[in-house]
Amino acid sequence: NAGVTQTPKFRVLKTGQSMTLLCAQDMNHEYMYWYRQDPGMGLRLIHYSVGEGTTAKGEVPDGYNVSRLKKQNFLLGLESAAPSQTSVYFCASSTRGTVSYEQYFGPGTRLTVT
C-alpha cells in the first residue's frame, strides 16, 4: 500500500496564481485533513473532511478551498496565491471510530509564493 501520497512535492508560484494540491489515500479512511507547517508554529489545520462530499473549516482556512469528490482524494486549492501561503503542506487521513485516532501523513508539498 502507498498510504498517503501528495502531488506535487514542490511548487513555486507567483503572487496571484492558482494551483491545486492533490492528496490520495488507499486505506479507505473516512477522515482527511490538510495542514500547513511553518517554522516554530507546528502544524495548523486548514480544512478537513469527514466523508465523501463533506468539508469543514479548520484553524486557518482563509485563502484556501477544498473538495472531496471521491473518498480517497482530498484536494486543496489556492485561488490567488499570496506570499503568506509559502509553507509546507501536509495531508493526513484517519479512520472513523472510537478506538483508533492515529493520523497517517503524506510526505508534504513545499510551496513557495514569490
Partner 1 sequence: AQSVTQPDIHITVSEGASLELRCNYSYGATPYLFWYVQSPGQGLQLLLKYFSGDTLVQGIKGFEAEFKRSQSSFNLRKPSVHWSDAAEYFCAVKLAGGTSYGKLTFGQGTILTVHP
Is residue 55 within the footprint of partner 1 (CB under 8 A)? no
Phi/psi class of residue 101: alpha, beta or left (left: φ > 0; alpha: ψ in -120 to 50)? alpha
- Least spacing, CB of residue 80 vs partner 1, in Å: 27
Contact code string over 71-90 relative to partner 1, x by CB under 8 A: -------------------x
Site string for partner 1, 21-40 (x = CB under 8 A): ----------x-x-x----x
53 binds partner 1 (CB under 8 A): no
In degrees rounded to 5, what are phi and psi of residue 83?
-55, -30
Q: Which has the closest alpha carbon to 44: 60, 55, 65, 64?
A: 60
Beta bridge partners of 104: 93
The whole-angstrom separation of Cα 7 and Cα 2 is 13
Question: Applying CB under 8 A, which of residues 34, 36, 48, 81 lies at the interface with partner 1?
Answer: 48
Q: CB count, 10 Å around CB of 30?
A: 15
Q: Which is nearer to partner 1, 48 or 74 (CB)?
A: 48
The residues that touch partner 1, with contacts defined as CB under 8 A, are 4, 31, 33, 35, 40-45, 48, 50, 56, 58, 90, 92, 94, 96, 98-99, 101-103, 105-108
